[in-house]
Amino acid sequence: MSEQRSHTPSKAKKADKDRAAPHAILNILDTGHRPDARARRSLAEFVAQIYAQNGLSAPEREAAIDVLHRFAHDTSLSVRRALAHCLANTPVLPASLARKLAQDVTSVAEPILINALALTDEDLIAIIMQHDDRKQMAIAKRPALTQAVTHMLISQGTKPVVEQTLQNKGAALHPDDAQRAADRFGQSAKVLSAIAKRHDLPANLAIDIILHASIGLETFIKKQIDLPPPFLENLVMRARDEAVLGRLDALPEKTLLTILRRINSKGHLRDSLVLRAVILGDRDLLEAACAVRAEIGLVPARLQLYHRGPHALNKFLDQCGFSAMLEQVIALAVPTLRQSMEGAPLDTQQYQDVIISRIVGNFRTIAPGSPETVIAQLLRLPD
């Protein structure tokens, strides 16, 4: 206990000396005495740390701010850089000092631009408009960005800056700016992937942006495959739908195969995508998926699907690695799909009615339970 008492006065005295330090340093600077750069850097760090603790009285605080401003104008880069690093995360950083450091050379400004809360949207936008790539990148890394700042970064930034902005979960993003990013950098798979991964955009909007980007779906999937499987699945299905409606060019067989092979190489060619193709009567997608899963060509896949008989079909679907339930549904669809392949026109609505009717009529062979249970299970096919 006595030892604890003996330390208390010394700690109090040290705190008093620390608080008095800004005045003392200010007096030294006022005399015209100029320590060397290393000493000035140490003094700048010392005063910044005292100031950041926010325990100064009003006069002490005023003196500290005066000292910090002087060091912010120091001719030594190392002094200003050390000062910026010490003050970057200080919640009580004066706005005038934050602006001064943010307008400095990049190595000084970066920690302030990334972290300083004192900078307003107007401050940040003014710096963005200076078109300094590294400063824009620093702003793009801030923990939170308003829509106004995000808009300026996407409108004015380089491709890496736009990519970083889109990857920033704290950046508030208006849908128009997602489209603007794609318009500016529609050949960048990284930019488009960052749009796809945004949780604050409707999934359909992100898919629409990617489908109509200048890069093209095949190139996008070749370059960027680290997307959630459901997103990739919806992307492929939307591409098929858009082609049917005439809004996009139809995917050539070779392109469709390339896309599905790339998706499958990452384990993302799921049974659920194949099921959707079967239910919708998308024969091309079903054939391509079977070819990819069985690791054979498209022509052999068609022969196995339509011309080898029920036993060979079941064996082929096993080779594809489909679930038992999906195999049953494909087997129910094949007779009608074969007719369309042989030249009979496929009425999509009539086909879908037939398939649903067959699933309901054969639910006991597909899986145990009621028809509703079977359909629910089909909708939750395993990956």
pLDDT in tens, 324-355: 889 989 999 999 898 887 777 778 888 888 88
pLDDT of 14 strictly over 50? no
pLDDT band at 6 (very low <50, low <70, confident <90, very high): very low
Q: What is the mean pLDDT of residues 209-218?
A: 90
* Count, residues in the chain: 383
Distance CA 256, CA 290 (A): 12
Could you tell me the two tokens for 220? 């996008």
Q: What is the DSSP letter of 145?
A: B
| Residue located via tokens 């128009």 | 176
Domain boundaries, the chain: 1-119, 120-199
| pLDDT confidence of residue 10 | 54
Q: What pLDDT does 1 receive?
A: 43
Q: Which residues pair with 171 in a beta bridge?
A: 145
pLDDT in the model for residue 26: 62
125 has which bridge partners?
A: none
| 262-285 average pLDDT score | 88
Per-residue pLDDT for 52 more than 90? no
Question: What does the pLDDT look like over 196-206, one tens digit per residue?
Answer: 999 999 888 99
Q: Give the DSSP letter string of 14-57.
A: HHHHHHHHHHHHHHHHHTT----HHHHHHHHHHHHHHHHTT---
pLDDT score for 97 = 96
pLDDT at position 383 over 50: no
pLDDT value at position 342? 72
255 CB-near residues (< 8 Å, 6+ apart) = 217, 218
pLDDT above 90 for 61: no
Residue 77 has pLDDT above 80, yes or no: yes
- pLDDT tens-digit readout, 96-151: 999 999 999 999 999 999 999 999 999 999 999 999 999 999 999 999 999 999 99
pLDDT at 80 over 80: yes
Q: Above 60 in pLDDT, residue 5?
A: no
Residue range 20-44, pLDDT digits in tens: 556 556 655 554 467 789 988 998 9
Residue 217 has pLDDT above 70, yes or no: yes
Cβ neighbours around 343 below 10 Å, total:
6
Confidence (pLDDT) at 24: 58
- Please state, in angstroms and rounded to a whole number, the distance separating the CA atoms of residues 18 and 6: 19
pLDDT digits (tens, 9 = 90+) for 158-174: 999 999 999 999 999 99
Which pLDDT score is estimated for 340? Answer: 81
Of residues 145 and 57, more confidently modeled: 145
Residue linked to tokens 């970064």: 153
CB-neighbour burial class of residue 38 (10 A; exposed 0-12, middle 13-18, buried 19+)? exposed
Q: Give the model's pLDDT for residue 218.
A: 85
d(CA 299, CA 296): 8
- CA dist., res. 295 & res. 140, Å (int): 44
Predicted confidence (pLDDT) per residue in 224-267, tens digit: 768 888 888 888 888 888 876 667 777 888 888 988 998 898 88
**pLDDT of 156 above 90:** yes
Assign 279 a pLDDT band (cuts: 50, 70, 90).
confident
Write out pLDDT tens, residues 87-98. 999 999 999 999
